[in-house]
Amino acid sequence: MRVALRLTTVVLLVLSLGLHWALLQTVAWTGMVIAYSRDGSVRQAVARTFDGEHPCPLCKVIQQGREEERQQQQDAPVKSAKPLLMAVVWQAPEFDFRCPGVPVRPPARSLSPRVEPPPKPHPRSASLVASAVA
């Protein structure tokens, strides 16, 4: 599923950028170089391919397709709208450090400090208990 989604995305991106014409033109030029090199040297084949005087049928189709795309783009209605001005407006956040109206009660005066002594015998630490048992 991911592979199909990625492939679809790549194909749509290639088509939207017009790279399909470049790919087709590369295929046409490669075929022309191969075809022309049968009759002469590779140097002559490359010269005939790129001189513009000997287009192959695929080159003619590519040229016609590009022209049709340009016509469609020129014929498309141009929307005349006001330019869109975009700006980032930063505004400092407002903090309210005032305490809400909840009153704080004073400590109760009826509490008295603890008066009873700690239990006897005093608790021993865990290391002393472990060494005494061993």
Could you tell me if residue 116 is inside a domain? no
Q: pLDDT at position 30, please?
A: 92
Q: Which domain holds residue 59?
A: 18-75
pLDDT tens sequence across 46-99: 999 899 888 889 889 989 988 988 888 887 776 666 777 777 777 888 877 777
Could you tell me if residue 100 is inside a domain? no
Tokens of 67: 């022209």
DSSP per position, 54-95: S--HHHHHHHHHHHHHHHHHHHSPPP------------PPP-
Could you tell me if residue 134 is inside a domain? no
Contact criterion met (CB below 8 Å) for 49 and 32: yes
Could you tell me if residue 126 is inside a domain? no
Could you tell me if residue 22 is inside a domain? yes
Rounded distance, CA 29 to CA 58, Å? 9
Could you tell me if residue 35 is inside a domain? yes
Could you tell me if residue 42 is inside a domain? yes
Domain count, the chain: 1
Q: pLDDT at position 79, please?
A: 66
Tokens of 111: 């509490």
